[in-house]
Structure 1
Amino acid sequence: MKRFLKWLLIILVALLIIFIAIFHKRIILTYRLVDKYISLKDRNVTTEKVDGLKMSKSMNYKDIIYKNTNGIPLTLDIYSSLKKNSDPSPVILYVHGGSWVYGDKSIPNALSPILNAFREEGYTIISTSYELMRGKANFNKQVTDVKDTIRWIYKNKSNYNLDPNEIGVIGISAGAHLSLLASYSSNDEFTDDKDLSQYPSKIKYLIDFAGPTDLSLLNTNNLNYDLTKIFNSIKDKDIVIKKFNPINYVGKRSPNTLIIHSNLDPMVPYKSSEELYDKCVEEHVKAELITLNSNVHDLSNISNTDIASMSEGLLKFIVFNSPL
């Protein structure tokens, strides 16, 4: 019996050493980020008080043209790692929302503190643009724009010291819809720029803020003039829904997915996120669903309680997928 207990103790110690060897960096990273997060909460930092943390004040490269295939130059911004390190940097790509018609690539204040915290730990943040719809639906072009941004990262990894094996994507609303399609589809789907099409588009993880996952669930009544014109331009809605529903692309090789959505969302039904989560579980894709309670669709007027919930979940999810 003593011999058995001795070997059991040796095995347990060995397992503990292996666990620490594998996860010690993540444990340390989690501690540092949680410490910063708690510090922000203790100082009662709100979205109106983040001037010192605004991303725009520490941008390294602005309006880099990543492609021009339709007479409209498309650009991205790079917020480089704030940590002095010669190793290639993990990348977080931000894709803005705006109902496919509006918006720009500036980082929302609600996301700035958490993204800057990751920059301090060695991450590079890239914010991209895509061709906005003007008068008619053009989902295909927008998806290829997001996908070509990912391909651009692979192409330019050496120029900006980026690690293409460690790309995470954050999309909001329409940007989340495009990010889901770009991330779930295969390398050879949704191509546009001939040069960029030679590069991979694989990512490691995806964060979806209230993205439409099933276009058939959207309420297209009482839309404004621009959106009414867009949806009226679709001749065969069934074909569009089939091709541009992200949930149709979920498969066993899909990246780890974090879904963040309010159950009071007045624009995109919360049901769409529930269905995406269930589909991920069905396909054995690692997925999490964080439910918010603000009566808003995007991050513009999100409550401080939901900011805390969102930030904590976002932090934990990225750390779990972190190579640092």
Structure 2
Amino acid sequence: MVLTENSLSCDYSVEEAFKNSMLTVGAVGHHLLVAYMDVISVTVLLYEVIVNLSSEIEHIWLRRWSFLTVLYLIQRYLPFFDAAGLILNHDFGANLSPRICSLSYSISGWSFLVGMILSEVILTLRVWAVWKRSIPVAMGLVVFFLACWVPGFVWSAQFLGAAKFTTFSNTAGCFIIGGRDILYLRWVLLMVYDTGILVMILIPAIAAYKRGRRSSELVNTVYQDGVIYYAFIFLTSVINVIVNVVLPPDLMFLLSSFERVIHSILASRAILHIRQVALRRSRETSRSTQQSMSQVLFTTHDDHGELPNSNPSSPNRVRSLSWMPHSE
């Protein structure tokens, strides 16, 4: 068989078309993998909100509002706007244009960043509380926070400004086709910050354990939740960095929604758990006080409701006075 220039050109065109079709199939497969992971993340978020809704109404909505309440509610429900709204539309939306894809992803990207920062602020405030609200510790936390998050803002702006998207007529969703490979740096800094905060909460927790001093349930809750939550966030950040470095570029968003949702869930649980324990302690203290008062009234009155003896040396009188708090 003699190969002519035309036949070679034809074979080359067929080969290129085949490669392009295979690349398209691979891109669609990766896109669906990311999309399904986003669906899983939103499902976890929705389930967690529904399960804890009654507790949230009791401990958040019906309590006196404060700055922390507003902070809680914003970071709690913002994922429904970015992860459940914009990102799922980005994954499954039909008849999207590259411009709409770029715009929606930019908005969701900034919303992701702001929401995660608010969640980190809540968790960081817990660490500051563990350190007895020390001013030097507060200053150190602020410097550390800015050092890890300000570069994240810069890299996010550079990444979102350079990202390019396309769409396929027979496939829903947006496909990233270009941009700067710097997004992983933001996850690296997040991992560094989580490591530092984990160490900050481990130091007093280990010190308290070594002293062998029994702490209140509220203090134990702060320690245990803080260590567990930050350890889990750190592990998620490590896996996210590995995904961004090792896997193909179109899988860089594989765990983005999951980490976004996890931050919101754990920060919310931290606040809810503390308020649950505090309210339970308050009720137990109130109940104990009422029982003690009933005991005093029972031992200081006779069957007719009268004091049996007004003599200060009376045993019943002594018992009643011994219950009363001593003034300093």
Q: Normalization by structure 2: what TM-score?
A: 0.24
Decide which structure has the larger Cα Rg and report it.
2
Which TM-score applies when normalising by structure 1?
0.25
More helix per residue: 2
Bigger fraction of residues in strand: 1
- Name the structure, 1 or 2, with higher relative contact order (CA <8 Å, separation 6+): 2
